């Protein structure tokens, strides 16, 4: 890694039998203030206070409740702006070698930080509360050192990494959002096609998707390529063309069955979008 050779490495001594440590520090010590790196993987939990980290040249403002992932070889240093209490988890990546045989992406929150993951986990995600609870439990188990605490701490660490992979992978989160969005839009379109004559409003369509009108409109436009109400007009007009070409129904009745309550408005929109009048399509 560029720049690592010019910065002294911290030699973190971890017990061979249980290569993980969980500690708390009050304030930013001189060792934390200087630029440093180490071979261990590090998770920081901010119990109290505020400050910022410089990690590989990027600045991350942190506050109480924040969680940071620092990869081995990451150049980093910490600063406090309001008295900070850090919870620090350090472990040897080889400690989880067995689990990586079954989940090769287990350590991606470290290995792909800056790409699919951020050093500072998104504090606005609801899942962050679950991670905080896991870290608190790990800390209590490690401090109590009751029988079999090593197994419990290891299990909680695996759970923590699994949840970070599940919920904080930016690529996966975007894919899940798109999948859920597509399903919601599909349900709305299905309902609209069944009841095309209904005088749909944006709020009614948004309610079908269980979204606010503004969020629904933005999602619909992103996935479909046009606004919900404009798409509804296009859908109704396409159905009107089909009825004009395949039935002998009166134009005013076709307009009504497609959701147009006003014949002049139907003619205007038909001419605007189709390029001809309804009567021209009927004659052809």
Instruction: State the average pLDDT over residues 79-105.
Output: 92
- Mean pLDDT of all residues belonging to the chain: 88
Taking only the tens place, the pLDDT of each residue in 164-188 is: 999 998 876 565 666 677 788 888 8
Return the top range by mean pLDDT from 130-139, 210-219, 242-251: 130-139
Q: What is the pLDDT of residue 9?
A: 63
Asked if the domains at 4-168 and 175-283 fall in one CATH topology, the answer is no
Closest CA to 160 of 101, 110, 97: 110
pLDDT for the residue numbered 172: 63
Fold classification of 4-168 (topology level):
Jelly Rolls (2.60.120)
pTM above 0.75, yes or no: no
Q: What CATH number is given for 175-283 in this structure?
A: 1.10.10.60
Confidence check: pLDDT of 159 > 60: yes
How confident is the model at residue 4, as a pLDDT?
47
Provide the pLDDT for residue 139: 97
**Domain limits, the chain:** 4-168, 175-283
């Amino acid at each position: 890694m560029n720049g690592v050779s010019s910065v002294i490495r911290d030699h973190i001594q971890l017990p061979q039998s249980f290569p993980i440590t969980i500690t708390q520090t009050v304030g930013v010590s001189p060792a934390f203030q200087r630029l440093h790196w180490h071979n261990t993987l590090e998770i920081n939990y901010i119990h109290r206070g505020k400050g910022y980290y410089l990690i590989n040249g990027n600045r991350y403002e942190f506050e109480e409740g924040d969680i940071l992932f620092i990869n081995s070889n990451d150049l980093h240093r910490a600063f406090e702006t309001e008295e900070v209490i850090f919870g620090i988890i350090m472990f040897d990546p080889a400690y989880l070698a067995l689990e990586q045989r079954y989940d090769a992406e287990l350590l991606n929150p470290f290995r792909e930080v800056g790409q699919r993951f951020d050093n500072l986990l998104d504090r606005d995600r609801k899942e962050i509360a679950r991670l905080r609870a896991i870290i608190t439990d790990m800390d209590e188990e490690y401090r109590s050192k009751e029988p079999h605490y090593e197994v419990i701490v290891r299990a909680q660490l695996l759970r923590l990494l699994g949840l970070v992979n599940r919920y904080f992978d930016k690529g996966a989160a975007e894919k899940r959002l798109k999948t859920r969005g597509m399903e919601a839009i599909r349900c709305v379109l299905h309902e609209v096609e069944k009841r095309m004559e209904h005088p749909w409003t944006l709020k009614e369509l948004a309610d079908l998707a269980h979204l606010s009108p503004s969020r629904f409109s933005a999602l619909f436009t992103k996935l479909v390529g046009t606004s919900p109400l404009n798409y509804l007009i296009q859908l109704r007009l396409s159905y009107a063309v089909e009825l004009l070409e395949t039935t002998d129904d009166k134009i005013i009745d076709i307009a009504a069955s497609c959701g147009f309550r006003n014949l002049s408005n139907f003619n205007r929109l038909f001419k605007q979008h189709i390029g001809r009048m309804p009567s021209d399509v009927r004659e052809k």
